[in-house]
Structures are given as C-alpha cells and as structure tokens.
Amino acid sequence: MMEQSYDVIIIGGGVVGCAVARSLAFQRCKVLLLEKEPDVGLHTSGRNSGIVHAGFHATPGTLTARLCVEGNHAIRKYAESQNIPFEQVGTYVVAVDESQVPALQDLKGQGDRNGVPNLSLIPVSKLQKKEPHLNGHTALYAPTGAIIDSRALTKALANDACRSGGSVLYWQEVKEIQERADAVTVVTRDGRYRADLVVNCAGLYADRVAHSMGIGGEYLMVPFRGIYFTVTRSGPPIFHSIVSSLSNVSLPFFGVHVTRTIHGAVLVGPSAVPVLDREAYNGFHNRFSSMAKFASQQVVWKALLRNRQLLRLAWKDDSHPQTHEYFWREACNVLRGLEMQELSLGSRVGIHPQLIRTDGHLVDDLIVESTNRTIHVLNMVSPGMTCALSFAKWLTDRMQGSGQGARFKTSYWANVS
C-alpha cells in the first residue's frame, strides 16, 4: 500500500487536535488529522459544560494556569472573529457564610497570581439585580468567565485547518505507529500515512497511544463519568452566568456548578464517578474485556483509597436513589428558590480522562511526553477546552523553535512548562 506523506499527523479530532492542526496549517505545514469517528468533537470536546474558565482554579506556576488565562483571551477573540456562539457572562464563586470569606480571598489571591484580570469580591446582596437567585454571603467575581458552544468551536477549528491546506480524515482509528530514525508511519485499518512527526491528541485514549510507543508508562488514565441535571422551569432562566460554591472549587474537576449554556439551558453538574470503560456514556459497561482489565489494575484501587474525595464522589452515580437530591442540594448552596422537582436528569454526559500515577496520586497538570518523532498530550482534563488555542500556540511555537526544516526535534518537549 502506497504511503501518503505529511509533515505532521495529528491523532484525534477533539478541540485540542483541531487547534493544533489549525495552528500548524497556518504555518504552512502539510498536516493530516486522523479521527476515528465520523466527525470531530464527538467525545469530551462536544460533551463538556461549555465554560471558558477565567483561570483562578489552577495552581499558580503550572502550565495549566498559564494556558487557561491565555486561552480564555484567545477563545474570546477567535469566537468573535468566527461568529461562534459565545457570551462573556462572568463567573461567581460564593462563600456561603462569613467564615468562608478568608478562603475566598485566598482564591482571589491565587487568581491574581495567575494573571486573571479584574477579579473582585462582592457581597451577594449587591448582586441581586443581576442575579436575583444567587445565594450566599460573598462572591468572587471573574468577569472573563464565559460560555461557548464547544462543538461549534471544535468544528470551526477543523474547518480552518482545512481551509489553510490541512486535511481531516474520518473513520480512521489509529492502530499502530511505527517510528524510525527518518520518519513515522501511522497505520489505520485501511491506510498507512507517513510523516516527520506525530502529535497524539487522542483524549480518552492518549495514554494507550503513548504506552504503545513505550512512554508514559508511569501514568494510567482513569475515566470519570460526569452527568448533568437540567433546570426545567419555564420563563427566563433562573440564572444567567456561571456559579459554584467555594467548597466545590478544590474538588477534582471543580465539582458540581450551575451554568447557563449558550443555548439557554441551565445545567447543574457535572458529577465525577469512576467508571470501568472510556466510553461508558450510558453508564452501562458493555465491553467486558475493557472492564475486567481496568478493575484488575491495582493502581486504580490505590488511587481511590489515596484520594478520599474521589471515594466520596464515587457513590453519587446517577443510578443512586439520592442523586437527584444531591444535585438539588448542590444547586441550593448557590441558588435560591429552586424546587427539587424543577431538576431533571439531562442527556449530556462527558467522561474526564484523568491521569493517575502508578503510586496512586492524581496528576493535576497537563503532561506532554515525547519520543524523537512523536509528541503525546496527556491529562487534558478541565479546563482543557479553555486551554486548547493557547496550548496549540505553545506547542507549535516550540516546534518552530527547535525545528530543522520540516523535521522537528521533539525530544525537547518532555516535561517543559
């Protein structure tokens, strides 16, 4: 079979792969994006909360902190230029009573250190005109928090890549990568493609692709399923922006929050419950081999025991009889006047690809590992969509910086921040 040749092959058409493909295509690279599904954005990138995070959650000094703040700005500019549904509604984090105010001040300090613009602490009583249902004592307000149609963003990035000379092929699940000194060959069920460099943006499967190249062995991806409830009341939305309680901010994946979507629904969620399959969107695990393999891995149990918060979250599965009440209570922490019967289980389900070290510790920053001719993007958990554009710039800047014509010296990437 004849191999078609490219400068760079990207594996995965989520928001990250599409952003990287666009960035490279703009730099006149001959880029090919291979996606296993019939369209882009069908997994995590099309199933998230659609929040463009302001950047106060991330630990100062981490790559995620930097990329989130830069990415927030980049997405706003991009959405405006492409007419992608986007609204800068602002984000609130509320202290339920006075005792939580010092911790809220600390969170503001963290956001200031990350460079989040114009953060302020506001008594909730002064916000009643804007958000009459907001509950609590004091709110941290981040005006750059925004909402977007994440699937539309992903598709726009892919279209942009194609308009600039890149190619996207669907139904092309990458089965094997053969790396040699002079090039890499990527093998799918019905094709072989040759490139100088491969970038693995396979999301929920990125660890598997990395492991197949003999790297990232110290990490395992554990899928955490996130469901949402929807507020069903008629009339204007009960809430217009994004809010979470202070006690949820430090939870893995930021805990349950309330957000209006760009299409006018009000979501309460997501949860984060460990599941045994990477695509267990319906909660039912029908791939027995994958379940059995996952459950037999000691590191998974070690991680759950080591991270008590995860255990606490684990029982809040949507099949649990208390789940409805749990989501309602979470919403009532930040909203007034919501009745339990106004919440119904929504259809949106996403799966967080959380990386865990073999010693059981959760990885809380983005990881980029590489071989000479392959780069692997691991742990793109929330706020991965917000970071997508700035990450693509970060990555492609480094490719140019150490490039030798169309050949890239990729060993430079490992553990850089």
Ligand X SMILES: Cc1cc2nc3c(=O)[nH]c(=O)nc-3n(C[C@H](O)[C@H](O)[C@H](O)COP(=O)(O)OP(=O)(O)OC[C@H]3O[C@@H](n4cnc5c(N)ncnc54)[C@H](O)[C@@H]3O)c2cc1C
Give the catalytic positions in this structure: 53
If binding is defined by CB under 6 A, does position 173 make contact with ligand X? yes
Which one of residues 58, 380, 389, 399 is an interface residue with ligand X (CB under 6 A)? 380
Angle between helices 384-401 and 15-26 (to 10 degrees): 30
Query: How many residues of this chain interact with ligand X, rule: CB under 6 A?
Result: 39
Q: Which residue has the tokens 């599904």?
A: 37
β-strands 184-188, 174-179 pairing: antiparallel
Kindly tell me which of 48 and 100 has the beta carbon lying closer to ligand X.
48
If binding is defined by CB under 6 A, does position 153 make contact with ligand X? no
Which one of residues 23, 45, 241, 390 is an interface residue with ligand X (CB under 6 A)? 45
Q: At its nearest, how many Å lie between ligand X and the CB of residue 380?
A: 4
Question: Is residue 94 within 8 Å of residue 246, measured between CB atoms?
Answer: yes
If binding is defined by CB under 6 A, does position 11 make contact with ligand X? yes
Q: At its nearest, how many Å lie between ligand X and the CB of residue 235?
A: 25
- Note the residue count of the chain: 417
Closest CA to 380 of 259, 248, 206: 206
Q: At its nearest, how many Å lie between ligand X and the CB of residue 234?
A: 26
Question: Is residue 89 within 8 Å of residue 145, measured between CB atoms?
Answer: yes
Closest CA to 215 of 105, 337, 374: 374
Q: Interface with ligand X by CB under 6 A: which range of 45-53, 100-108, 293-301, 311-319?
A: 45-53
Q: At its nearest, how many Å lie between ligand X and the CB of residue 259?
A: 7
If binding is defined by CB under 6 A, does position 42 make contact with ligand X? yes
String of b and e for 188-210 (b: at least 16 CB within 10 Å)? beebebbbbbbbbbbbbbbbebb
Q: At its nearest, how many Å lie between ligand X and the CB of residue 68?
A: 8
String of b and e for 5-17 (b: at least 16 CB within 10 Å)? ebbbbbbbbbbbb
Q: At its nearest, how many Å lie between ligand X and the CB of residue 89?
A: 13
- Residue 296 burial (CB count, 10 A): 9
If binding is defined by CB under 6 A, does position 384 make contact with ligand X? yes
Which one of residues 29, 31, 35, 328 is an interface residue with ligand X (CB under 6 A)? 35
Kindly tell me which of 141 and 224 has the beta carbon lying closer to ligand X.
224
If binding is defined by CB under 6 A, does position 386 make contact with ligand X? yes
Kindly tell me which of 119 and 168 has the beta carbon lying closer to ligand X.
168
Alpha helices in 83-137 (DSSP H): 101-114
If binding is defined by CB under 6 A, does position 274 make contact with ligand X? no
3-state SS, 102-117, equals HHHHHHHHHHHHHCCC
Beta bridge partners of 225: 273, 351
Which one of residues 34, 197, 213, 222 is an interface residue with ligand X (CB under 6 A)? 34
If binding is defined by CB under 6 A, does position 51 make contact with ligand X? yes
If binding is defined by CB under 6 A, does position 317 make contact with ligand X? no
If binding is defined by CB under 6 A, does position 203 make contact with ligand X? yes
Q: Interface with ligand X by CB under 6 A: which range of 44-52, 82-90, 361-369, 407-415?
A: 44-52
Q: DSSP per residue over 304-333, as a string?
A: HHH-HHHHHHHT--TTSTTHHHHHHHHHHH
Which one of residues 26, 27, 37, 251 is an interface residue with ligand X (CB under 6 A)? 37
Q: Site residues (CB under 6 A) for ligand X?
A: 11-17, 34-37, 42-45, 48-51, 53, 173-174, 201-205, 226, 270, 350-352, 380-386
